[in-house]
Amino acid sequence: MAAGSFQTMKSTNKVAVLEQIFIGEPVSRAQIAKVTKLTPPTVSSMVKELIDDGLVIETTTGESIGGRKPILLSLNPYKFFSIGVHIAPNYFKLTQANLRGVILAEETHELFAGMNKDAFTELLLEKTEMFMQQFDCKDLLGIGIAAHGIIDNKQGNVIFSPYYQLHDVALQQEFEARFDVPSYLENDSRVMTWAEFWSGAGRYCDSFATIKVDQGIGGGLVINRQLIHGNSSVAGEFGHMTLDIHGEPCRCGNRGCLETLAGFRAVFKRINERLTASGLEPLPKYDYARLQAEYEAGNEIVHDEFDKLATYLSIGIVNILHAIGSDLIVIGGQISRFEPMLLPLIRERVAARAITLEERAVPIVFSQLGDDVVSIGANILVLRHILEPDYMNHSD
């Protein structure tokens, strides 16, 4: 089955079966039939086609509840693959991943603010082309692109990237024209949400919110197993809720946004201002390992700023719970390395501010997918489109 033909899978039944294998692997045919409400013969027929396509393999046997032991099914990790492109402030990362979203190869390159649109795009395309030369691209399903900024995922355009000061970049079309494979563009925070939805904490959750804390703050929102974009593609931009109308200016044009208080751009700025005022050496900008070492060494300024970070973030989480509700909050990004220091404080302060017992009981967890969460999500974005090519039209 050629890579391009996945978009025209002939049966919604086939898609439903493949989705259940992805979510529940290893899983039996009987379990799939129970969840999808398809008849056992239909499931068996769809599974045979998926095995013939090379998407699915039979792995091992499950526990018997009477009769023969069931043969369990999993995605085939050995045949097809995707390419992920994660465009972040200062750098971009290229990854190759199998159908399960497991990263098999990666490389990272610098990007610089101030590059013009053409130079920015050509650098991405050139490095991606060189990266892909090491693989047999007949088994390439597509390219998933996770970009920082406001993204029109329907048209495949970067509307605005604040860090790179880029406007209206038709990035998806550029990749498709260069490589002649399906390519998909999405905001990096929503891509993190996809990773959590398919492989992380949100895998078995119908509705949840993610908060991605790096230099800035982004987020994503899943309601009834649909990723929400909103009419202007800004749903989930939790970093731009206003917490202080007289606060620091934000890159979005407002003042006192959550990311001006709890994003690491602000955290490093406050710490270094206080260190300098105390006659101490400032920390290297965005050196998260050094920041962690200073915390563990008992640096009082760092401890105090982490305490503030936990407070600001807990206020943002309570606002999310009050405004839209959620069954789960997942926190990810560079903040994940500070889970032991921050999670107890955040949970305590959310519980103190939330209005109802139900809100206080909402689980708050840190992502367990590590620093590669966005790269994982970029690759899963390709599989998501294969499963449901028009998924974006369902979540306006």
Q: Which residues are CB-contacts of 293 (< 8 A; sequence separation ≥ 6)?
A: none
Q: Where are the beta strands (DSSP E) in the chain?
A: 27-28, 56-61, 71-75, 81-88, 91-98, 103-110, 140-147, 150-152, 157-161, 166-169, 183-187, 208-213, 217-223, 226-227, 329-332, 364-366
pLDDT at position 67, please? 60
| 179 & 261 share domain | no
Let me know if 54 is exposed, middle or buried by CB neighbors in 10 A (0-12, 13-18, 19+): middle
Percent of all residues in the chain with a pLDDT value above 70, rounded to a whole number: 93
Would you say residue 356 lies in a domain?
yes
AA letter at 216: G
Residue 219 and residue 93 share a domain = no
Contact 378, 210 (CB under 8 A): no
219 contacts 209 by C-beta, under 8 angstroms: yes
**pLDDT over 70 (residue 392):** no
Question: Does the residue 230 lie in any domain?
Answer: yes
Residue 249 placed within a domain: yes
The per-residue pLDDT for range 249-287, each reduced to its tens digit, is 998 889 999 999 999 999 999 999 999 999 999 999 899
Pair of tokens at residue 163: 């860090």
Question: What is the predicted pLDDT for the residue at 395?
Answer: 43
Mean pLDDT of the chain: 90
Q: Which of 193, 219, 248 is the last residue of a domain?
A: 193
137 exposure class (CB count in 10 Å sphere: 0-12, 13-18, 19+): middle
- Do 59 and 171 fall into the same domain? no
Residue 385 lies in a domain: no
**Is 68 in the same domain as 86?**
no
Count of C-beta atoms within a 10 Å radius of residue 125 = 17
Q: Which residue has the higher pLDDT, 228 or 345?
A: 345
Q: What is the pLDDT of residue 319?
A: 96
| Model pLDDT, residue 84 | 97
Q: Which of 166, 193, 220 is the last residue of a domain?
A: 193
Range of the domain at 259: 204-368
CATH number, domain with residue 332:
3.30.420.40
Q: What is the mean pLDDT of residues 30-51?
A: 93
Residue 6 pLDDT greater than 60, yes or no: no
- Of 138, 171, 193, the one marking the end of a domain is 193
Q: What is the CATH number of the domain that holds 37?
A: 1.10.10.10
Long-range contacts of 302-308 (CB under 8 A, 24+ apart): 302/271, 305/267, 305/270, 305/271, 305/274, 306/267, 306/338, 306/341, 306/342, 306/345, 307/345, 308/261, 308/270
Is 393 among the domain residues?
A: no
Q: For position 350, what pLDDT does the model report?
A: 98
* Same structural domain, 163 and 279: no
Least confident interval from 17-21, 81-85, 118-122: 17-21
Query: What is the Cα–Cα distance from 158 to 152, expressed in whole angstroms?
Result: 6
138 and 243, same domain (yes or no)? no
pLDDT tens for 275-323 read 999 999 999 989 999 999 999 999 999 999 999 999 999 999 999 999 9
The answer as to whether 244 is a domain residue is yes
389 lies in a domain? no
Token look-up 């489109």 returns: 385
pLDDT score of 244 more than 90: yes
Domain check: are 221 and 356 in the same one?
A: yes
DSSP 34-63: HHH---HHHHHHHHHHHHHHTSEEEEEE--
Same domain, residue pair 248 and 322: yes
Mean pLDDT score, 179-184:
94
Same domain as 145, residue 222: no
Q: Judge whether 219 lies within some domain.
A: yes
**Per-residue pLDDT, 267:** 98
| Residue 334 sits in the same domain as residue 360 | yes
Confidence at residue 9, expressed as pLDDT on a 0 to 100 scale? 47
Contact 179, 187 (CB under 8 A): no
Same domain, 19 and 92: no
pLDDT for res 131 = 97
Tokens 């606002």: give the residue: 319
Q: What is the pLDDT of residue 384?
A: 82
Share of the chain above pLDDT 90, in %: 69
pLDDT in tens, 51-106: 998 999 998 775 656 567 889 999 998 889 999 999 988 899 999 999 888 999 99
Domain count for the chain: 3
Per DSSP, the chain holds a count of helices (H) and strands (E) of 13, 16
Edge to edge, the sheet with strand 157-161 lists: 150-152, 157-161, 166-169
Q: Are residues 21 and 93 in the same domain?
A: no
Q: What pLDDT does 150 receive?
A: 86
